[in-house]
Each structure stands twice: as C-alpha cells, then as structure tokens.
Amino acid sequence: MTPLQRAARTLHRSHPSLRLRTRWVQTVALTSLAAGLSLVAVGATAATRSPTVAAQTATEASITGIAATCTSDGRTCGVLTVENPIAGETITLDVTGHTPGSAIFVPLAGTDTIVTLVAGKTAYDFCITIPAADLSAGFNTFRVEVSSTSDPMVGTTTKSDSYSCTGSTSPPTATATATATATPTPTPTPTPTSTPTPTSTPAAGVLGITTGGTQAISTPNTGAALPIGTGLILVLAGLGLMVLRRRTSH
C-alpha cells in the first residue's frame, strides 16, 4: 500500500462523513446510469416501431368533381368523380337553384339523389329530375352540389358549374319573312387525334406501405432523438461519478 493510500484510509477512518459522501456519490451514479439506460431504451423503441401513417385523407374517399347539364326533358344529368372510393359509402347529391339578384343557391326539394360507391370505380353517372314547379319558379341557373356523405370524405364542398335549364318549353321566337341567302360551303375541320394520357401510379411511401388502392404515407418518428440524447448524457454522468467515487475511495 502506498503512502498516499494509507493517508486516504486514515482520513476516511477519522472523518466518517467522507464515507457518507462516497455512498451518496455511488447512489447518484447508479441512479443516473439506470435512468439513462431507460431513456435510451425508450428512444430506441420509438425509433423502431411502425411508422405513423400520415394524411388521414389517404384512407378517405375524395370527391374530386361534378359535371352536370340540363337535358331537353328538364332533367339534370352528369358524372360524379371520386378518388379512393370505399365500397358501401354513399354520397347524396342535390340540385340547387339561383334567382337573379340573389347571392346564394337554394336546394330544391325532392332532388336528393344517393350515389353508392364501389371499390375501384371512380366515375358515377347520375340523372336528377327537377320538379316542373322549380323550372318555372324564376331560377335563372342551377347546379349540382354535395348534400351529405355517409362517412367523412374530402371534397364535400365540390359543386358543378352553373347551367340554365328550361325543360321542354322552348322560348317564343319571332316569325321572320324568309329571305333567300347563299348557303356557305362548309370547310372541313381536321379532327384532332387524341393523345392517350398515361395513368400516374402513386409512389410508394417511405416504407412502401399500401392499403389496397389507397396510398399510405409513412413519416419517420422524430420523437426518438430526445430520450436517446438525454439517456446518453445521464449514462456518461453516471460513469463519471463512478470513476470519481472509485478514486476517492482509495
């Protein structure tokens, strides 16, 4: 035993409070180590668990468009387009009318039409009969809107462009005296060749997770950095205290 160790032992025996401090340092060191290792474990668990599926809209049907026009018999017909259709969910459409000078479109009673979604089908034809009383009620334009949905959906404020609808009644026209006029020779118009539009394929998420025809967007869990960093600091502090305790105990 070196003279220095003998002096330290003599000091410890003559001052019992130093032993208590040494034990206190040991207790703090072990507590720091335990807490640090626990935090590191929590952070590692958070970092390796399944990624959060973001954008709830990816699992909801989305109403993307309504196209509508008036037929000669006073009906409104068109097409409803939907993305990510979920089988069995329904969309209720109705016809609204606008009067000159008004700032709003008023729903027409009896025009509600329910469209039931089918998995994989994105376009739905519909026809709605406008009551004869509404055709002659002074409305100058109409449009088709979403009245309600059976489940939460995106695009519930989607509506068609406004259109006029006079039904089968033709407006009166003045009778004019027939005047001979030269008939122009029609000029043939070249028919444009339609170019097929490639169908875009949704890119896989961060981990390539897909749910049927729905794209799930995966986001990394950024909450793991804080517990891991704090845990490492506590582990280092605990190790430092253990080294200090060993040096002071000799």
The upper half-sphere exposure of residue 101, i.e. CA atoms within 13 Å in the direction of its Cβ, equals: 1
Predicted confidence at residue 207, as pLDDT, reads: 38
Give the residue from 183, 188, 218 showing the smallest Cα distance to 50: 218
Question: What's the pLDDT band for 204 if we cut at 50, 70, 90?
Answer: very low
Q: What residue ranges do the domains of the chain occupy? A: 58-168
Model confidence, pTM: 0.47
Predicted confidence at residue 74, as pLDDT, reads: 82
Share of the chain above pLDDT 70, in %: 58
pLDDT at 72: 84
pLDDT of residue 181: 47
Query: What integer pLDDT is reported at residue 225 of this predicted model?
Result: 76
Mean pLDDT of 219-226: 62
**Residues 152, 133 contacting (CB under 8 angstroms):** no
Residue 136: pLDDT band by 50, 70, 90 thresholds? confident
- Kindly list the distances between the CA atom of residue 60 and the CA atoms of 79, 94, 144, in Å, as whole numbers in the listed order: 20, 22, 22
Please check the confidence at residue 176 and state whether its pLDDT lies above 60.
no
Q: Of 10-24, 146-160, 233-247, which range is least confident?
A: 10-24
Residue 194 has pLDDT above 90, yes or no: no
The model's confidence at residue 114, banded by pLDDT at 50, 70 and 90, is very high
- Residue 17 exposed, middle or buried by CB count within 10 Å (0-12, 13-18, 19+): exposed
The burial class, CB within 10 Å (0-12 / 13-18 / 19+), for 136 is exposed
Q: C-alpha angle with apex 235: 26 to 17, nearest 5 degrees?
A: 15
Q: What is the CA radius of gyration of the chain?
A: 38
Q: Percent of the chain beyond pLDDT 90? A: 36
Burial 154-186 (b: 16+ CB within 10 A, else e): bbeebbbeeeebebeeeeeeeeeeeeeeeeeee
- Greater confidence (42 vs 34) lies with 34
The pLDDT-based confidence of 32 (bands split at 50, 70, 90) is confident
Topology (CATH level 3) of domain 58-168: Immunoglobulin-like (2.60.40)
pLDDT above 70 for 200? no
- Can you tell me the mean pLDDT for 196-209? 44
3-state secondary structure 187-242: CCCCCCCCCCCCCCCCCCCCCCCEECCEECEEECCHHHHHHHHHHHHHHHHHHHHH
Query: Residue 213's closest CA among 202, 226, 223?
Result: 202
Q: Which of 8-17, 28-37, 97-106, 229-238 has the highest mean pLDDT?
A: 97-106
> How high does pLDDT run on average in the chain?
74
